[in-house]
Amino acid sequence: MSRSRELIGAVLLLLLSVPAGAGAQSLWRDGVSGVSLFPDVRARAVNDIVTVLIVEESSSSRSANTTTSKDTSRTASVNNFPTIFDPLASRLVRPVVKPLLGYSSPSQVAENMLRMDLQSQAAHAGKGSIDRSDKVSGQIAARVVKVLDNGNLVIEGRRAVLVNDETQVITLSGVIRPQDVASTNTILSSQIADAEIQMVGRGVLAEAQRPGILYRILDWLQLF
């Protein structure tokens, strides 16, 4: 009996002395999202950055011709102007005035004074044409400022570049769809809804291209 106990004790001691084998761990664990080798860097949340490729091109052509003319002629006269002063003037004024200056009755004088002959002529000719072509290209990083209920993103961006005292400011805003954002986290400006893109230059060259204040005042008054 004692030898059996000794044998059992030796077996237990041998088992305890054997090191436990290391358990293998899986690369995929429950409850933990897997890590992709190619992460999606596209903007989806507020304060995410998306690069906008500005490619805008437009052209317009318009012409107009206007010609107007007008001739007006009016003649008016009073052929019979009776007056109560004719008999009185014939008796009192005619004998004195007729030998020296000739005589006309008051009705004849009134008829001559009320005779009108009006004539007017006007002509106008106008011609204008517009032929314009614009092309704008560039890149600007915009920030997501709001995520709409349907998932669309409201973006805003501003960029100012100063070179040799010339400042070029680019501002952009609009609404984009997440599915339009490319895998490189870029989107074309033509895919922006309600887009407002402004490119403004300030500096010596911009001021030199503007007309003087006096010219602008006269042009606003349309005096010439």
Question: Quick one: pLDDT band at residue 32, thresholds 50, 70, 90?
Answer: very low
Mean pLDDT of the chain: 75
Amino acid making up residue 82: P
pLDDT at 121: 76
Structure pTM? 0.49
**106 neighbors 114 (Cβ within 8 angstroms):** no
Confidence of residue 3 (pLDDT cuts 50, 70, 90): low
Strand order in the sheet with 49-76: 186-188, 49-76, 116-147, 153-163, 166-176, 193-202
In this prediction, residue 48 has a pLDDT band, given cuts at 50, 70 and 90, of very high
The tens digit of pLDDT for each residue in 66-115 reads 888 777 777 766 566 566 666 766 666 666 666 666 666 666 666 666 66
DSSP, res 180: G
Residue 52 has pLDDT above 80, yes or no: yes
CB atoms inside a 10 Å sphere around CB 143: 16
pLDDT one-digit tens code per residue, 171-198: 999 999 999 999 999 999 999 999 998 8
- The secondary structure of residue 78, as a DSSP letter, is -
Q: Which residues pair with 61 in a beta bridge?
A: 131
What's the CA gap between 119 and 143, in Å, rounded? 70
**Mean pLDDT, range 137-143, rounded to an integer:** 89
Considering only residues 58 and 2, tell me which one the structure prediction assigns the higher pLDDT.
58
